[in-house]
Amino acid sequence: MKSLSAALCMLAAILPGAHGDGGPSVIEHVTVYKEAGRYGGWPANHGIWSWGNEIVVGFSAAWYQKKSPDRHQYDSSKPEEPRLARSLDGGHTWTVEAPASLLPPEQGGRAVTRLGEAMDFEHPGFAMTLRLTGTNQGPSRLFYSYDRGITWHGPYDFPMLGQTGIAARTDYIVNGRRDAFVFLTAAKTNGREGRPLCARTVDGGLTWSLVSWIGEEPAGFAIMPSSVRISPDRLLSAIRVHQDADHDWIDLYQSLDNGTHWKYLARPVPSTGGHGGNPPSLIRLRDGRLCLTYGCREAHEIRARIANGAPPDDGRVWGEDIVLRRGATWEIGYTRTVQRPDGKIVTVYYYPESAESGRTIEVTIWDPGGAVHELRR
């Protein structure tokens, strides 16, 4: 008998969806990274940045190792080497880069130091990435770039914010030249993974403060926020939630006071298919709609959902699942998504071509279709 999460995941896939005239459509699948003996993994742990049709995404180049089917098929005794992939044509072609300035000290990179000069978040080539160091206990580190990820400053210590552990991934919102929010996961009071929070700097990263918790402390874990600004006061953050072996989903939280307080808004994805779940990638489309991509592990699928409500109710009502691609095993997802200037969407993820091979980094370019409801401006 299938688990509850598997049943929900499969049910979502067979629901009649918005695939008719004017609806979402897949344009192209592109291989970004494929290397013999390697395991390309987890773009959501690294980040994605875009400047028009120039897109940069981070991922791990781990080493493939065959294990039991319920385990990740990589060699955890070898380093997960950081990589970047860059496209100059909106995702159709990619070049893989291995900048030495992004290496952690454990792999021959520079020693971790304290940031001594304020970052300029509004620099035209600015990119920032925050990295956990392997466990929910932290510490975490920060790198930044002023040349669109070609060279990086860092690594710099990220503060513990009074917590026993900070597991950082890259999710931030720039508010001004020296002002930014970052959205992170802290260890729970029992030391286990994890609970999401919002932190802020107003001095270019020289100091950070904990602004607010996003939701109550969970029974299982709530991790890996993906956040967007809707208005000067309204923020949304999608959260990966795991309760037990059969229950994983994505919740959406809302702040109406610029991050000071958060309340549960909706559950846009009722199941991410077991195996610990899968993180969301939340973006706001140019027409004002919300778009969320994720991996459904039990169904071996990359999926998207688009919010059908108009402001101020956007985020409460979501359309049916849009299946972007199917893979060979449950090791799939960890999406990062951006929208191109022409309105097409570029979704990056890790992908199993077969159960007997390493994992690749792939892209699906797709058209979100027209708005379900006319949006009020």
pLDDT digits (tens, 9 = 90+) for 162-221: 999 999 999 999 999 999 999 999 999 999 999 999 999 999 999 999 999 999 999 999
Higher pLDDT, 243 or 136: 243
> What DSSP letter does each residue of 184-253 carry, written as one string?
EEEE-TTS-EEEEEEEEESSTTSS-EEEEESSSPPSSEEEEEEEEE-SSS-EEEEEEEEEETTEEEEEEE
**CA proximity to 282, closest of 223, 343, 229:** 229
Structural domain 4-16+96-328, CATH architecture: 6 Propeller (2.120)
Q: Say yes or no to pLDDT of 361 above 80.
A: yes
Round the average pLDDT of the chain to a whole number and report it.
91
pTM to 2 decimals? 0.92
Residue 376 scores a pLDDT above 80? no
HEC letters along 288-340: CCEEEEEEECCCCEEEEEEECCCCCCCCCCECCCEEEEECCCCCCEEEEEEEC
Q: How confident is the model at residue 309 (pLDDT cuts 50, 70, 90)?
A: confident
List the alpha helices (DSSP H) in 126-181: none
Statement: residue 14 has pLDDT above 70: no
Q: Given a cut of 50, is residue 231 above it in pLDDT?
A: yes
Q: How far apart are CA 211 and CA 206, in angstroms?
A: 16
Contacts of 1 (CB under 8 A, 6+ apart): none
**Tell me, what's the pLDDT at 6?**
43
Asked, as a colleague might, if the bond just before 99 is cis with ω within 30 of 0, I would say: no
Measure the CA angle with vertex 133, ends 291 and 292; round to 5°. 5
Q: Residue 297 pLDDT > 70, yes or no?
A: yes
- SS3 call for 14: helix
Domain ranges of the chain: 4-16+96-328
- In the chain, % of residues over pLDDT 90: 85
Q: CA 110, CA 48: separation in Å to the nearest integer?
A: 23
**Residue 229 clears pLDDT 70, i.e. is over it:** yes
More confident residue, 13 or 114: 114
pLDDT at residue 322 is higher than 70: yes
Count the neighbouring beta carbons within 10 Å of the beta carbon of residue 350: 27
Gap between the Cα atoms of 256 and 266, Å rounded = 15
